[in-house]
Each structure stands twice: as C-alpha cells, then as structure tokens.
Chain A
Amino acid sequence: MSNVPADLRYTKSHEWVRALGDGTVEIGITDHAQHELGDLVFVEVPEAGRTVKADEPCAVVESVKAASDVYAPIAGEITAGNPKLAAEPEMVNADPYGEGWLMRLKPSPGALAAAALLSATEYQKVLDAEGG
C-alpha cells in the first residue's frame, strides 16, 4: 500500500502537484512510482526559465532497472528544479512528497484550472486498478 496524501492532486502517470500559495506549484513523483522504480541513481530536472506544455516530458528519473520520463502535469514556466537531487537522488525514494520534489512551475494562465488533475481518491482508484 503506497502513501497518497489527501491534500495533493495527481496524474495518471504518477506525478503529484502541490499548490504553493504564491501562484506556483510544486511537482514530484508519487510513492507508488518511486517504489516501482527502485533505488534512484540519477535524476535530471529541468532548468528554470524553460516553458513546458502539458504532458511534455521534462524530467528523467533513473534507477538501475529503468529510466522513466516525468511529464509536466500542467503547461507553464519552470521556476526551479530541485538542486539537491543531483547529489542525492535517493531523496526521491526517501521523501517523495517532501524533500524529493522535482520541480516548481508557474502555470500558464488558465492552465491549472484546465488541467484534469485527479484527487487523492481518484488517484487511489488508478492504483487499485493497476494492482499497486
């Protein structure tokens, strides 16, 4: 059983989104995703200033078993990539919803509302269907 915090929003591709209160959002991968990948050995985060479209691959999380793309849940401009992950990729495993955040983004006007993000309950249903 993986951890699915109630106060976040989710995507079907196992990303989570947290509104930061200043108009920007924070994005990472879920506990289920980090568990599936196994110990992360490398994380590549996008550079600040980069504009991304919704569903555009913008980060890579790499374990011994797999290297997976992380998709931007919302269109917008990247304001920061987590600088700690270069030296400590395992943070994503240890604290996927906290210190293991991947990037922060300023959504394009209307993008946050338009994005069909899942609630915690809806995401849990996705996991149950996958058997995770």
Chain B
Amino acid sequence: MAFIPHTEADVAAMLAAIGVARIEELFDEVPAELRVKSLAGVPEALNEMEIGRLMSERAHSDGIALSFLGAGAYEHHIPAAVWAITTRGEFYSAYTPYQAEASQGTLQLTYEFQSMMARLTGMAVANASMYDGASATAEAALMAVRANRKSRSARILVPLTLHPHYRRVASATAANQGLKFEELPYGAQEGITLPDALARYETEDITALIVPQPNFFGRLEDVDALTDWAHAHGILVIAVVNPTALALLKPPGEWGARGADIAVGEGQPLGVPLSSGGPYFGFMTTRMEYVRQMPGRIVGRTLDAAGKEGFTLTLQAREQHIRRAKATSNICTNQGLLMTAATIYLSLLGPQGLTRTAAAAHARTRELVTALTRVPGVRPAFTGPCFHEAVLQLDRPAAPVLRALAGRGIIGGLDLAGYYPELGNALLVCATETKTSADIERYRAALSEALQSVRAA
C-alpha cells in the first residue's frame, strides 16, 4: 500500500460519514471517458527490501572511480555531522517557513546562512538560495537589468571563460525577456578576458558585465581592472565565484574601487556531495541598495508580540505569490535542504578549515599539473596562475585517452573539444584536498601508459 494507513474499518466508517457507499463515488464529477483504464507503463509494486536490492545492484554496477573532474562541481570532504543533521526529519520534512512561529529552526538557520554568504562574498546581503549557480547567474542578469536605471539596452557582456553550461542556461532562461548576451573572447595564451576585448564597448550602452573567478579554465581573471572598467562606463558587475576559493581570493565586495554589484555562484562545494549533478544550490548576494531587486526568499530578524527576537520571511511583496505578473522572478521553491547542509558545513569548517581546504586544493592541483606535464606530450594550455583546476593540452585527442584512463578506474577530467575546439586536444583537470600524492602518481602513471597506447594505435 502506498504508505496508506487505513484499515477496512476506517474506510467503512469514513464512507458512512461522507454518505457514499464506495470511494469510487467520490469521483462522480469526473467525466467517465476520462477515467484511466490501465497504467500499463508502470510496473508492479516493490516492497522496501526489493527496491533496496535493486538500487544497491545499480549503485554497485556504477562503482566509484578516482576522479579528477571539476568543471563546476567539486569533490570535497564532507564532515559526517553535516548530513546526519540535515536529514533529521525536522529539517528534511519541513515546509517553506511561511508560518514563521512553527519554523524558527529553518528561519534562523537561513539567517545564519545569509550572514555567512554575505561575509564570504564581502557583500551586504544574501538571499536564501536559488536552484544552482547557472540559474543564479541568469537571475543576476535579470536583476541587473532591473537595477541599472541608467542603462536601457539589456545587453549583458559574457566572457567565453564563463562555464559553457552557465552561458546556455542564461540564454535559455533570460532571452525571452529581451536580454541580449554578447560574448567576450579570451586571450589565447593567457586564458583570461583581456582589456582589448572590452575596447569596442567603450561608448556602448551595456547593462552588466559578468566576471567569473576563477574562470572555467581555473585561471584567475584581473577582477579589479574589469570591475573598474565596468563602473567607469555605468555597467553593473556580476561576479560568478567559487565559494571555497573565496577563503583565499579577494571577495567580489572588494573588487576594484567599489566592489562588484551582484555576486552569485554554485554552492555545491560547501558540504553538498557531487550526487550525479544535483541537487545543488545557487547563492546570490548584493549591495544593500539593490536588495529589493533580488529574487528569491529573504529572512529577516524582528521582534515578536512579547518583544522577543524571532525570524521571518520578509520582502515577500516582490515574490510571485503576491506580485504575480510583476514579480522579480517566478521562483517559489528554493534549495533549502542544501542551504542547511552548507550552513552546517561552514560552521564546522570555520575560517581556518575553509582556508586550509582552499589551500590544499590549490596545492594539489599544482602538484597534479606538475606531475602530468612531466609526461611527454602533455603541456599546460595557458600561462598564469590557476585556482584548483587547469587546462592541459595533449598531443593526441583527449577522448580516447580518457576512455583508456576510465578503463583503469580513473576519471581523468573533462574533454574540452566540444566546448572550445580552438584549444585543440584540451583537457580540464582538477584536484582537491581529497587527492593524495599517491593518487596523483597513479594518474601520472596511467596517463603515460594511456598516451603511449593511443599513440601506438
């Protein structure tokens, strides 16, 4: 039974109370021709033991490989306490905190999350999460159009060094509202956005500039120069940042002379497992002056009728359930459970733990690049510092090399041929604090063999 507790006696008593003979009669308003005859496409029910077995078999067949993939989702150690607490029924099965008095746990936790994200990004205020980093970027572009009163063009400059999927999501989500995304090229040697890419926009009406840090290649952009240029031209700056990296890198609130205007990114690195792509969460922070343009839920602290502190959803008048057609966004559900995990994660790591994690990831990636570039036929694609990912160029196509590595239980990285064909045989590799020197050596040895076997073929 579908978790239905009713006994026959219950059903009989309930039908009697309603005044019908059978449950079937309760559907008498539904036209008979619409009634389902059979659900042939749905298999017979499995009990918990049976589904448990099926899922275990499937999981086992997928296995766990040694992975050097980054590209927007990062493997980090997640303390056991994070999900032990996050999956407590009181967090897991609670609803959106619309009845504030019954939801002080979720609301206070959200306030703590907002506080942490504001501090991490160096901005004034945060919302209670968005679906993921890509949709947060799209929403930031829409927000910039609302917030930038001096610009009417709705043209958004997007570096090609921003994650290709983020660019596609922004376009799919925001193009219908009249936004125009224009791509900025990157320097072939440097792998970052160069000043001369901006030159042709000197006298144009541009609404916002997106600045990723680190960028998709792991390279560090010149965020101060880009931010100052944008502000000098009345353009808002949207920072797309990695939250772990922010423990070491200058946060968007301190970019250039005035700081970025909106900061977004993917929150998955903060205590959320890779879980085959989701659920993750997007974060969004901004200046106080733009708080009313920010989509999504926001929690505020206030007093109750007895003068005691409490927390509640605020600024809801901007949201869909009140403003309807004029809402800042149609977003309703957020990623509350993941935000919960991130808040617990950040509390357990603290400033020292997060800084060490970022530093270790950086060091491991440098070690990885050094080791792999010792293999003949492998060289770095770009000059200049990277953070926890790097692009390597191979003297053979990456796809067969990756297949050979996969055969040895190693997921070597992301083949960039489909995304950046101009980079040739390029591979995006990543190492975080979860990789040891032994792991890296294992990769190096396997890569050496794989390249030889591909060469020989």
Q: How far is the CA of A125 from the CA of B318 in the complex (A)?
A: 31
Residue of A nearest to B313 (CB): A64
B positions within 8 Å CB-CB of A:
292, 316-318, 322-323, 326
> Which residues of the other chain, B, contact A41 by a CB distance below 8 angstroms?
317
A: contact size bracket: 10 to 19
Of A15-23, A65-73, A114-122, the stretch lying at the interface with chain B is A65-73
Residue of B nearest to A63 (CB): B317
Is A77 at the interface (CB under 8 A from chain B)? no
> Which residues of the other chain, B, contact A42 by a CB distance below 8 angstroms?
292
Q: Is the CB of B317 within 8 A of A66?
A: yes
> Which residues of the other chain, B, contact A63 by a CB distance below 8 angstroms?
317
A positions within 8 Å CB-CB of B:
41-42, 44, 62-67, 69
Q: How far is the CA of A6 from the CA of B2 in the complex (A)?
A: 66
Residue of A nearest to B322 (CB): A66
B-side interface mostly: helix
Q: How far is the CB of B150 from chain A (nearest CB, A)?
A: 11
Chain A-chain B contacts (Cβ-Cβ < 8 Å), number = 20
Residue of A nearest to B316 (CB): A64
Q: How far is the CB of B107 from chain A (nearest CB, A)?
A: 16
Q: Is the CB of B326 within 8 A of A65?
A: no
> Which residues of the other chain, A, contact B316 by a CB distance below 8 angstroms?
64
Q: How far is the CA of A130 from the CA of B16 in the complex (A)?
A: 43
> Which residues of the other chain, A, contact B326 by a CB distance below 8 angstroms?
67, 69
Residue with the greatest number of chain A CB neighbours at <10 A, chosen from B317, B318, B326: B317
Q: How far is the CA of A42 from the CA of B318 in the complex (A)?
A: 11
Q: How far is the CB of A42 from chain B (nearest CB, A)?
A: 7
> Which residues of the other chain, B, contact A66 by a CB distance below 8 angstroms?
317, 322-323
Q: How far is the CB of B304 from chain A (nearest CB, A)?
A: 15
From A65, A67, A69, B318 is in contact (CB under 8 Å) with A67
Residue of A nearest to B323 (CB): A67
Q: How far is the CB of B234 from chain A (nearest CB, A)?
A: 16
Q: Is the CB of A65 within 8 A of B292?
A: no
Q: How far is the CB of A28 from chain B (nearest CB, A)?
A: 19
Residue of B nearest to A42 (CB): B292
9 shortest A-B CB distances, which residue pairs? A67-B317, A62-B317, A67-B323, A66-B322, A66-B317, A67-B318, A63-B317, A67-B322, A42-B292
